[in-house]
Chains A and B, each alone.
Chain A
Amino acid sequence: MKKIINQPSQVVDEMLKGFVYANDERVERVPETSVIVRKDKKKGEVALVSGGGSGHEPAHAGFVGDGMLTAAVSGEVFTSPSPDQVLEGIKAADQGAGVLLIIKNYTGDVMNFEMAKELAEAEGIEVEQLVVDDDIAVEDSTHTAGRRGVAGTVIVHKMLGAAAKRGLSLKEVKELGDKLVPNIKSIGVAMTAATVPEVGKPGFTLEENEMEYGVGIHSEPGYHRTSIKSSSEIATELVGKLKDAFEFGDNEHYGLLVNGLGATPLMEQYIFAHDVEKQLEHEPIKIEFKKVGNLMTSLDMNGVSLTLVKLQDDWADLWYDPVHVTDW
């Protein structure tokens, strides 16, 4: 394992210290917690709180600021934060208009955030929750814990952050989220697995000439392991999966996210984005907005994910509303 760290057990705390040092004009850390909160809180605005295990930077603390999240709560690497930490996040974020929790769909995250919601409600804070489950690599059925939450969560942060800034009520922001989430779908591919510092070796092994479609952001197994393909072939596979999931129709409008998983250079992400563009040229849909970059990573995983969001109403406007956060 080659990493620029000190003690593996201290990585989250030291990362948060560095994050605040670099961005202290915008954010601060709630003392004795793993909560990052924006400094310029807006009284009367609905607050958005997200978080989860660490290792997905810039998610979620990099999206704290005007127009996106009010606070982010970081757990240990790939481990949900505990309810008391999330409760601190809710209390720090509340601006008097209630708090919406944005949770990625993992059993641990959902339980810890739900308990925090109950604790906060007992303290008189109005809290709603929204669970994001955009990863179509996993079958959504009553026989599993359901689809996982991955890069599409960032779209939820952006759209709902804009809605909250426009002055929508907690109920309205939550309703918008309930409409938005089923319209977001993602699918990824990995060339290598992530190495958790405290474990010291990759979560699984892919040979030099292998890659795997559908791997999760904590190295959960995917749906197909194969020999290395070209960017163009990968785009064909991933766009094909999304096309089947959405059943593209005439004149539908979409937004698009190409997300680097941590160790894939931007050069390769742009090459892949161009191949996605070529694939989509044959489709009847219109792409309203695109974004390429590392948004929801998996430590040092080499790979990319592709996310599409099927747009309705004024969602594209929400996307283009200005934001002032560290990593947009």
Chain B
Amino acid sequence: MLTVENTKAWLLRFAEKVEANKAHLSDLDSVIGDGDHGNNMARGIKAMQEALESKEASDPADVLKNASMALLSKIGGASGPLYGSAFLDMSKQAKEDASDVSAIFRAGLSGIQKRGKAEPGEKTMVDVWHPVIKALESGELTTDTITDAVEATKPLKATKGRASYLGERSIGELDPGAVSSSYLFEAWLEGED
């Protein structure tokens, strides 16, 4: 069950993780992208923190919508629309039913896929969202599920986004978007303890 309080707390934990790993995300992105994922995400979550603190929210859907708008306008690049779409569609689902968290995450994944047109196995953030939601639906989500999903992007060959131009050379590297997505789910799990 999402509430205004636990949604805000979850997103603020997500923000802390991104901020703490900003350089790590940019380093990963330098290898297979254009090296700005950490800075872009940090700019976005800073705007999200400000929005969460300053904007009124009457339900968890509002919290997610405020987060979406901040991420959308401040991350930039491809990650802005992807995270922005995820949060916007999670907000719409939370408006319908704030009690079913896996349905809310599932709506977020569908928002990402609608925007980015990626399927599982293309070395993108979808490769974390997809297995994590499956595990959550069957009540088996642990931090290991998340870590394994991130690690599983390593042997994949990128066929979407800037990394796709590297072809075979993308094999053996972690996908930066998968890593930043893992922080979102780790932050969620920490609230469930």
Query: Do A and B assemble together?
Result: yes
Q: How far is the CA of A82 from the CA of B84 in the complex (A)?
A: 10
On whether A82 and B73 interact (CB within 8 A), knowing A107-B162, A115-B84, A143-B167, the answer reads yes
Interface size on A, residues (CB 8 A): 26
Q: Which chain A positions have C-beta within 8 A of B159? A: 142-144
Q: Which chain A positions have C-beta within 8 A of B155? A: none
Q: Which chain B positions have C-beta within 8 A of A70? A: none
Q: How far is the CA of A108 from the CA of B83 in the complex (A)?
A: 12
Q: Name the residue on B nearest A221 (C-beta).
A: B165
Q: How far is the CA of A221 from the CA of B164 in the complex (A)?
A: 12
Instruction: Say yes or no: B81 contacts A111, CB within 8 Å.
Output: yes
> Which residues of B62-77 are within 8 A (CB) of A?
69, 72-77
Instruction: Say yes or no: A115 contacts B167, CB within 8 Å.
Output: no
Q: Name the residue on B nearest A148 (C-beta).
A: B165
Q: Name the residue on B nearest A145 (C-beta).
A: B164
Q: Which chain B positions have C-beta within 8 A of A145? A: 160-162, 164-165
Instruction: Say yes or no: A80 contacts B77, CB within 8 Å.
Output: yes
Instruction: Say yes or no: B81 contacts A79, CB within 8 Å.
Output: no
In-complex Cβ contact of A82 among B76, B115, B162, B165 (8 A): B76
Binary contact readout A132-173 vs B (1 if CB under 8 angstroms, 0 otherwise): 000000100011110000000000000000000000000000
Q: Which chain B positions have C-beta within 8 A of A78? A: 34
> Which residues of B142-180 are within 8 A (CB) of A?
159-162, 164-165, 167
CB distance from B41 to the nearest CB of A (A): 13
Instruction: Say yes or no: A82 contacts B161, CB within 8 Å.
Output: no
Q: Which chain A positions have C-beta within 8 A of B85? A: 115
Instruction: Count chain A CB atoms within 10 A of each CB in B75, B77, B167 and give the residue with the most.
Output: B77
Majority SS of interface residues in chain B? helix
On whether A111 and B115 interact (CB within 8 A), knowing A76-B76, A82-B72, A143-B167, the answer reads yes
> Which residues of A105-138 are within 8 A (CB) of B?
106-108, 111-112, 114-115, 138
Interface: B94 (CB within 8 A): no
Q: Which chain A positions have C-beta within 8 A of B35? A: 199
Q: Which chain A positions have C-beta within 8 A of B73? A: 82-85
Q: Which chain B positions have C-beta within 8 A of A84? A: 69, 72-73
CB distance from A28 to the nearest CB of B (A): 22
Q: Which chain B positions have C-beta within 8 A of A112? A: 76, 80-81
Interface: B82 (CB within 8 A): yes
**Chain A interface (Cβ within 8 Å of chain B)?**
75-76, 78-85, 106-108, 111-112, 114-115, 138, 142-145, 199, 218, 220-221
| 27 A-B pairs (CB sep. < 8 Å) | A75-B76, A79-B76, A79-B77, A82-B75, A83-B73, A84-B73, A107-B116, A107-B162, A108-B78, A108-B80, A108-B81, A111-B80, A111-B116, A112-B76, A112-B80, A112-B81, A115-B72, A142-B159, A143-B159, A143-B164, A143-B167, A144-B159, A144-B167, A145-B160, A145-B164, A220-B162, A220-B165
* Beyond A108-B81, A220-B165, 7 extra complex contacts between A and B, CB < 8 Å: A80-B78, A82-B73, A82-B80, A108-B78, A111-B78, A114-B81, A199-B35
